[in-house]
A = this chain, B = another copy of it.
Amino acid sequence: MVKQKLPHDHGQDIERILGKMPDEEHFMEASAIFQQLCDSSRLRILWLLCHCEECGINIAAAVGMSTAAVSHHLKSLKLHGLITSRRAGKEVYYTLADTEEARLIHRMVDDFFQMSCPGKGLVDYDER
C-alpha cells in the first residue's frame, strides 16, 4: 500500500512485504472481530455458545451476570455475525453462527485455551 521509500533502508525486502500487506479496510474488519473477543465477559459468553445453544437467563446464570449486561453482549456478538438467535416461546436461544468466520473464531479460541490451560477449554465432541 505504502509505495514511497521508507526513511531508512536496512537492506531488507520490505517493499515486497508491504505489497503483501492487507488493505486498511481488511485490517478494520479483522480488528472489529478481535474486538468481540477482547472483553473477558463477552469471551466467556461466546465460548459457551461455541459449545451449546442456550437461552438468555441460563447464559446470564452461567457467567454470573445480569440479563441486561448479557443482552448487551449478545446483541453485539449477533451484530458482528458471530452468533444467531431463535425465539421459542418466552425464551430466545443463542448459539454460534453457522459461518466460516464463526468457526474460525471458535478454532482460534480453542487453540488459545489449549495452549494456556491444556485440559480445560476443549469440549469432547468438538469437531476438529
Query: Which B-chain residue is minimally distant from A44 (CB atoms)?
Result: B27
- A52 close to B100 (CB less than 8 A): no
21 A–B contacts, CB within 8 A, in A order? A2-B64, A6-B57, A7-B58, A8-B55, A8-B91, A14-B58, A14-B62, A17-B51, A20-B51, A20-B122, A22-B117, A23-B117, A23-B120, A26-B120, A27-B40, A30-B37, A31-B39, A31-B40, A32-B38, A37-B38, A38-B38
Q: Tell me whether chain A's interface is mostly helix, strand or loop, or mixed.
A: helix
CA distance A67 to B80 in the complex (A): 32
- Chain A interface residues toward B at CB < 8 A: 2, 6-8, 10, 12-14, 16-18, 20-24, 26-35, 37-40, 43-44, 47-48, 51-55, 57-58, 61-64, 91, 100-101, 104, 108-109, 111-113, 115-117, 120-124
